[in-house]
Structure 1
Amino acid sequence: MESYIHFFALKDNPFRITPDVDFFFMSSVHQEALGSLEFLMESEEGFAVIIGEPGTGKTITIRKFISQLPENVEYAYILFPNLSPEEMFRAILEDFGIEIDDTATKNKLFSALREFLIKKRKEGKKIFIIIDEAQNLPVDTLEELRILSNLETDKEKLIQIILLGQPELENKLNSDALRQLKQRITVMSRLNNLTEKELIDYINYRLAKAGNSTVRISNSAYKEIFRYTHGNLRQINQIMERALMAAFVKNKHGIDKEDIIEAANSLGMGKKGDRKSVYFVLVLTAVLTASIFSVYYFLKKPSEPVKKIEKKSSVEKVYVIPNRLNVRLNPDKNSEIVYVLKKGDSLEVLEKKGNWYKIKYKNITGWVNKNFTGPQNE
């Protein structure tokens, strides 16, 4: 079955939801935030904070920053950080590949991290701790991060910390309990939704990056997109993907106001439609599901048939040893984190490469450091 990727002669999905730095759009607020992070890297300041509502581009901005880091910079990237101080220190150490005994106390974890930072500074390295969704951090963990940021030599900070979070993080930082931490923050950026003009530029930019700058979008369609999304990046991506699908279903290469309304209804953004709109949503959903499989095989082009994979006679399984273990997109400690496993999780080993296992956990696939796993007996 033909997909809309084929239909519009695209080389890639222009509006995927997952952050992709190749599609990073430099709006005025994102440029300011990226510039603030670059200032932090060049300085010896301790803390930076980026605040934004869901879907405003916090994660893609930090990943763009990470993609530009020089070789002398190393970082730990922590997701889902509803962690106690001990769990936070352990997560940071694990992300740097440092093995720590499960029974280690908070003081021992802190000492191990301090020794690591001193060693890296002597090697001429700068170290960043990047914490995404930081509004979930408990107050006592945030306070421990402040104490951690105190570590320095006579001339230089040993560590710099970047917090990214929703507005609740700013509310938390304004509390009396964290007033000392608030005083340490020298870089504070806020990400807002796009303006209507930026929205138009954003859509055209992503279409061009995906290999097609000629998809016709009417002025009324742009206005309708802005009306539904208010310039929120995530919602723009969602509605544009459905609108492209709507045009594909109708066998046309232009997107108009009606396509946007139907796309919004299919996403639950608009008011309940009439019977015709409901029917269209059902058709669109069915075609989208089929298209996902078509796009997957078109882009991935597997060199071996699926049956060969299914013929494996035995499956090697391992379990997670530490409290948390990052699953990465590629076998590299600096690669993107796609999931965080918990202690005891059972993993299917798909492939081995050096100190890395390619694993499958439920519907998640990725790479983990084999040193943090143990063999699982059937």
Structure 2
Amino acid sequence: MNTTAPVDIYNSFFGFHERPFTLVPDPDFIFWSKTHRLAYTMLEYGVLTRSPITVVTGEIGAGKTTLLQHLLKTLPEDVVVGLISNAQGDRGELLQWVLHSLGVRFDPAASYVSLFQHLQDFLLETYANGRRVILIIDEAQNLNVNTLEELRMLTNINSNKDELVQLVLVGQPELRELILRPELKQFVQRVGSSFHLTAMNRDTVGAYVAHRLHVAGGTGREISDDALDMIHDLTGGVPRLVNQICDLGLVYAFSAEEHMVTKETIESVLGDGVFFGAASLNGGQANEA
């Protein structure tokens, strides 16, 4: 069975060379809303100023991972990057995640002290070779007070005035709440750059949708204004949910041989119960940025 045929027909019908709305982060489709540009500027600021800790938070689907991928594409060659996604565990386990992300071989049975010394030796050697290390932790809201404190201790490793590792923590809003706990006062003092990525307002949703339609090869007007009003209300301006319902709207319009997604199209999507995103937003009430 050829599962790609429906997607090909969908694209041909609207004149797209690829689907404009997918759930997979794609830097080629990145849309620089004011909020996303500010978030990325703070990411860059943290990296360029060698901030010990940079924190970026936002709701699920707000575009954090897309920004991270764009950052990774623009880092200079003298940067060694360790990327950890969804790390969990307590003291010692996190250190193994760090060593693994940097491609450093280690004995899993080694003591915490040995692992820490192993990491410190790697950082010193990297620094001596004129390079620096950035450790990026995605889905960092899954960490706890102990592991965050362990990460802070890594920023104490230095050579003269230069710190040997920078931390970039990216996660959901719970991460911000976690960091602000009284036990993590020392951690907060090391945060040199931070930003909270909010949802898009109605105007931004319209610009975002038109941008993705254009990038895919469309006119940017395949989704009507009244449909966009409804899409914003249903999704609260969360990019991933906007992608999901716009994609479904295009499928329904294609099925009806209509070249524009209208409010009636979106109502049909909702009526058939195929869009589950609204249930995650307290009934789909809009959340203005």
Q: TM above 0.5, one fold? A: yes
What's the counterpart of residue 108 of structure 2?
Answer: 102
Correspondence 1:184 to 2:227: no
Cα deviation 1:7-35 (Å, max 9, x = unaligned) = 21211121110111111111111111111
What's the counterpart of residue 267 of structure 2?
Answer: 261
**Higher fraction of strand:** 1
Cα distance in 2 for residues equivalent to 1:43 and 1:71: 17
Cα distance in 2 for residues equivalent to 1:270 and 1:18: 19
Q: CA deviation at 1:219?
A: 1.4
Q: Secondary structure at the match of 1:203?
A: helix
Percent identity of the aligned residues? 34
Correspondence 1:140 to 2:146: yes
AA paired with 1:79? S
Q: CA deviation at 1:215?
A: 4.4
- Confirm or deny: 8 A CA contact 1:45 1:157 kept in the other structure: no
Q: Secondary structure at the match of 1:198?
A: helix
**Higher fraction of helix:** 2
What's the counterpart of residue 169 of structure 2?
Answer: 163
Higher mean C-alpha deviation, range 122-131 or range 233-242: 122-131
Q: CA deviation at 1:136?
A: 0.7
Of 62, 72, 77 in structure 2, the residue corresponding to residue 71 of structure 1 is 77
Of 219, 222, 227 in structure 1, the residue corresponding to residue 225 of structure 2 is 219
Unaligned runs of 5+ residues in structure 1 are: 272-378
Q: Secondary structure at the match of 1:37?
A: helix
Residue pairs, 1:243-262, within 5 angstroms: 243-262=249-268
Residue pairs, 1:283-322, within 5 angstroms: none
Q: Secondary structure at the match of 2:110?
A: coil
- Confirm or deny: 8 A CA contact 2:43 2:56 kept in the other structure: no
Of 63, 72, 92 in structure 2, the residue corresponding to residue 57 of structure 1 is 63
What's the counterpart of residue 279 of structure 1?
Answer: none
Moved over 6 A (4+): none
Q: CA deviation at 1:270?
A: 6.2
Correspondence 1:129 to 2:124: no
Cα distance in 1 for residues equivalent to 2:90 and 2:132: 25
- Confirm or deny: 8 A CA contact 2:86 2:142 kept in the other structure: yes
Structure 1's 37 and 255: CA in aligned 2 closer, same or farther, altered over 3 A? same
Correspondence 1:24 to 2:26: no
Unaligned runs of 5+ residues in structure 2 are: 280-289
AA paired with 1:209? V
Answer with 1 or 2: which has the greater Rg: 1
What's the counterpart of residue 10 of structure 2?
Answer: 4
- Confirm or deny: 8 A CA contact 2:209 2:220 kept in the other structure: no
Residue pairs, 1:351-370, within 5 angstroms: none
| TM-score, normalised with respect to structure 1 | 0.69
Structure 1's 268 and 44: CA in aligned 2 closer, same or farther, altered over 3 A? closer
What's the counterpart of residue 117 of structure 1?
Answer: 123
Cα distance in 2 for residues equivalent to 1:44 and 1:192: 25
Q: Secondary structure at the match of 1:71?
A: coil
Q: CA deviation at 1:99?
A: 1.2
What's the counterpart of residue 197 of structure 1?
Answer: 203
Of 20, 34, 38 in structure 1, the residue corresponding to residue 44 of structure 2 is 38
What's the counterpart of residue 322 of structure 1?
Answer: none
Cα distance in 1 for residues equivalent to 2:177 and 2:46: 23
Cα deviation 1:198-217 (Å, max 9, x = unaligned) = 11110111111112225432
Structure 1's 49 and 270: CA in aligned 2 closer, same or farther, altered over 3 A? closer
Q: Which of 1 and 2 has higher RCO (CA within 8 Å, sep 6+)?
A: 2
Q: CA deviation at 1:179?
A: 1.1
Cα distance in 2 for residues equivalent to 1:222 and 1:99: 51
Structure 1's 174 and 206: CA in aligned 2 closer, same or farther, altered over 3 A? same
Cα distance in 2 for residues equivalent to 1:30 and 1:192: 9
